[in-house]
Amino acid sequence: MDSVFLAVKDLFTLNMLIIALSGTVLGMVWGAMPALSTTMAMALLVGLTIKMSTYEAIMFLMAIMTSSVFGGSITAVLINIPGTPASIPTAIEGYPLTQKGEGGLALGTAIVASFFGNWIGIIAVIIFIPLIMAIALKFGAWELFLLAFWGIVICGTLVGSEKPVKGWISGWIGLLIAMIGVDPIHGVHRFTFDLPVLIDGIGNIPIIIGLFGLAEILKALASPPLVMETRPVGRIIPPFSMMKKHWGVTLRSGFIGLIIGALPAAGPNIASFLAYIFAKQGAKGEEKEKFGKGAYSGLIASEVANNACIGGDLLPTITLGIPGSAGMAILLGALNLHAIRVGPALEMHHPGLIQFFFISLIVANMLMYAVALVIIKPGVKLFTMKKEILMPVILPLCAIGAFGINQSVFELYVMLGMGLLGWALYEMRYPLAPMILGVILGPMADENLRKAIMIFQGQEATVLTVLSRPIGTLMLIVIALTFYKGLFGKKSR
Amino acid sequence: MAIIEELKEKTEQETEETPAADFFMGIVLMVLSGIVCTVAWSWPRPSGIASSAGLFPFLIAFSLFIMALSIFIHSFKRKGYRRFVALFGVTHLRESWTHGNLRLCLFSLMTVLVYLVVILNLLPFEIGTFLFMTAALYLYWKTKLYRILIVSVCVVAFYSISFKVLFKLVLPGVGM
């Protein structure tokens, strides 16, 4: 109870409310703009959190994440161009409704569905975080190494679904980048090339901004312009009967979103598609006929799932330090800036912080709902701004974010290098999310592997002793199965 | 429906075979991982190989070498080397240039490099960013000059005020 009080105490300040509101507005506008993604929003705006307190930074980033996931559906419904990939199913069902003159109602349904989706995530976070943390406290160095390693492997398998080996390669490159700097156990200089700037390693934020900000800018500038046409919005608030009619789809999609979100780096994109497919398969009679022509159940499934995913994403991020999505990897990067190391011992080291995560999700959800209702109609012109205008405007933001942390020109060049690498890898069909996971989880994997080996050597352990650790052995089996699925499993999208 | 077509196209693009790129990446990654293996092996091992600083990088680089080799062999079977060489052929380059793909890529690359490497090294943030934005918007947006100037001034003022004054951040550029 004391922890909850600590968390709430910091919430009701004017600063915090302004930060929450600006995060919500920025996130929604960002998510709505077709060339900008949730991850990009977080990557570029993370620079703003440098001078904020830890709680303010969490509030700001959670508000951005929550509202930008919904923001993606605004342009998906109104102009048939999804703001984020997770909103593609929303566009498939939402735009035909706009063509029928029900655009406002479709958007209103999307807002309410997102609101419910977020609540499903919030409830799951409140229930499961203490449970997972209790289990995670039993993890030793060996289990922590296996967990970090599995996080990268599963991420590579999921996002590189057609060619998991490309996902793994991306993750492995990230792991190698994470090895740059002084080794924490023996103090050996690794890949520093006698350069003082490399002694502390490469900061996560310039890498994140390069991979998810600059690379996106290069991609957008090098692709042909989009044609955007707007239509009138009309009535927004949906009748209560609408959600009541689709409660089954809502619950099922929320559950899908949670499960997918909890898998490392399998974020809202996969969740919304999966929930949409399930909704389509589960639809009967007249509703089934409507799919592809404007089915509210398809729209609700997609929106509930991609918002419930946020809660799911938070579960492994807070309890184990394994980011549930690329956005969560950025949140971890921001927390590192504030010297916060998440994981099973978080409550011991930072009392009240976990509860603040819950509360920030609730506040972000409420604000998302309110801001969405207010800005949708007047904001349509802004949401449809051309990328040819946006990209030159965003580039200085990348520079500010990368430079601002340490006022280092070197980090500006790191961002540039990572942007070029990210762009090249994208063109060669390599996913980028595993790389950022590799960068974030690399030190954890390296340190814990060596600690585990030293412990095993001290105990004169045999292979059998190592295999007698149930959690570790279970994780070894899961890793082997993940590799097996990636190499020989049925390739499906 | 346009969106479904777009989705199909995107999915096809993501799943298409890229033998030329795989051939190139296979070689680059094999060389890189080979170097990392050699360097990691040479690092000091105060308490044996098992806990040495080079253990993890060595294991990662070794497995990366195997993955790169698999990609290389896969691309080789699909005549990746021929396609890779063809990418630098006069016909392909001329075609890319005419269709605008290559031009757009080079253009966007130049835009980013000029701003980050040249402008921010020569000018203060506000002046440099204003000049960059005016030029970039003129080239990409292709609208009336007064609109471009208004947008450039507003954006630079917004960045400068919000980051310098509100967030107390040091901005990049000369004289920071």
Q: Are strands A189-190 and A181-182 parallel, antiparallel or unpaired?
A: antiparallel
Residue A384: how many CB atoms within 10 A of its CB? 19
Confidence of residue A383 (pLDDT cuts 50, 70, 90): low
HEC string for A322-366: CCCCHHHHHHHHHHHHCCCCCCCCHHHHCCCHHHHHHHHHHHHHH
CA distance readout (Å), A44 to A40, A334, A338, A465: 6, 11, 17, 47
pLDDT for the residue numbered B4: 44
Separation of alpha carbons A417 and A402, rounded Å: 12
A441/B17: higher pLDDT: A441
Chain B residues inside the 8 Å CB shell of A173: 64
Contacts A450 to B, Cβ<8 Å: 50-52, 55-56
| Gap from A2 CA to chain B (nearest CA, Å) | 32
CA distance A152 to B126: 41
> Which pLDDT value is given to residue A227?
60
Average confidence (pLDDT) over A142-170 = 86
For the record, the structure tokens of A109 come out as: 């349904």
CB atoms within 10 A of CB B146: 8
CA distance B104 to chain A (A): 5
Distance CA A40, CA A29 (A): 12
Q: Which of B40, B70, B107 sits opposite A165 (nearest CB)?
A: B70
Residue B29 CA: distances (Å) to CA of A162, A439, B33, B49, B167: 20, 17, 6, 25, 41
By the 8 A CB rule, do A90 and A253 touch?
A: no
| Dist CA A390 CA A394 (whole Å) | 6
pTM of the model as a whole: 0.81
Among A residues 285-304, those touching chain B with beta carbons less than 8 Å apart: 292
Mean pLDDT of A144-159: 86
- Residue A189: which H helix or E strand, with range? strand A189-190
Whole-number Å distance between alpha carbons of B7 and A172: 29
pLDDT single digits (tens) A244-253: 888 889 999 9
Closest-CA residue of B relative to A294 is B1
Query: Would an 8 Å CB–CB cutoff place B50 in contact with chain A?
Result: yes
* Residues in CB range of A343: below 8 A, 6 or more apart: A136, A319, A320, A321
Backbone dihedral angles phi then psi of residue B106, each to the nearest 5 degrees: -65, -40
Q: How far is it, in rounded angstroms, from Cα A374 to Cα A377?
A: 7
Which residues from chain B sit within 8 angstroms of residue A201, using beta carbons?
Answer: none
* DSSP reduced 3-state for A190: strand
Q: How far is B152 from chain A (nearest CA, A)?
A: 8
Tokens of A455: 């412990």
**How many Å from the N-terminal Cα to the C-terminal Cα in chain A?**
45
Instruction: Render pLDDT for A88-135 as a digit per residue (tens, 0 to 9).
Output: 888 888 888 888 888 888 888 988 999 999 999 999 988 988 888 888
- CA A78, A84, A88, A91: dihedral to nearest 10 degrees? -10
- CB A337, CB A39: distance < 8 Å: no
A195-217 tens-digit pLDDT: 888 988 898 888 988 988 888 88
B120 touches chain A (CB under 8 A): yes
Q: Is the Cβ–Cβ distance between A347 and A129 less than 8 Å?
A: no
Query: What is the interface pTM, i.e. ipTM, of the complex?
Result: 0.87
The DSSP secondary-structure symbol of B2 reads: H
Cβ-Cβ pairs closer than 8 A, A with B, add up to 191
Kindly give the parts of chain B with pLDDT less than 50: 1-4, 7-8, 11-12, 14-15
DSSP code at position A140: -
**A327 or A173, greater pLDDT:** A173
C-alpha–C-alpha distance, residues B18 and A491, integer Å: 17
Question: What pairs with residue B14 in β-bridges?
Answer: none
Region of poorest pLDDT, from A257-261, A411-415, B120-124 = A257-261
pLDDT of residue B152: 94
Q: Is a pLDDT exceeding 90 seen at residue A265? A: no
SS3 content of chain A, % helix, strand, coil (to 5): 75, 0, 25
Contact list in A for residue B3 (CB cut-off 8 A) is: 80-82, 88, 91-92, 95
Which of A349, A348, A353, A352 lies closest to A317, judged by CA?
A: A353
b/e map B28-54, b = 16+ CB within 10 Å = ebbebbeebbeebbebebeeeeebbbb
Q: Which candidate, A405, A403, A439, places its Cα nearest to that of A422? A: A439
**CA B104/CA A107 separation, integer angstroms:** 35
Give the span between the Cα atoms of A334 and A410, in whole angstroms: 19
The distance between the two most distant Cα atoms of chain A, rounded to a whole number of Å, is: 73
Q: Establish if A100 touches chain B: CB-CB under 8 angstroms.
A: no
Helices A326-337 and A54-79 cross at an angle (nearest 10°) of 160
> Would the pLDDT of A493 be above 50?
no
Q: Cβ separation of B105 and A222 shorter than 8 Å?
A: yes
**How high is the pLDDT of residue A173?**
96
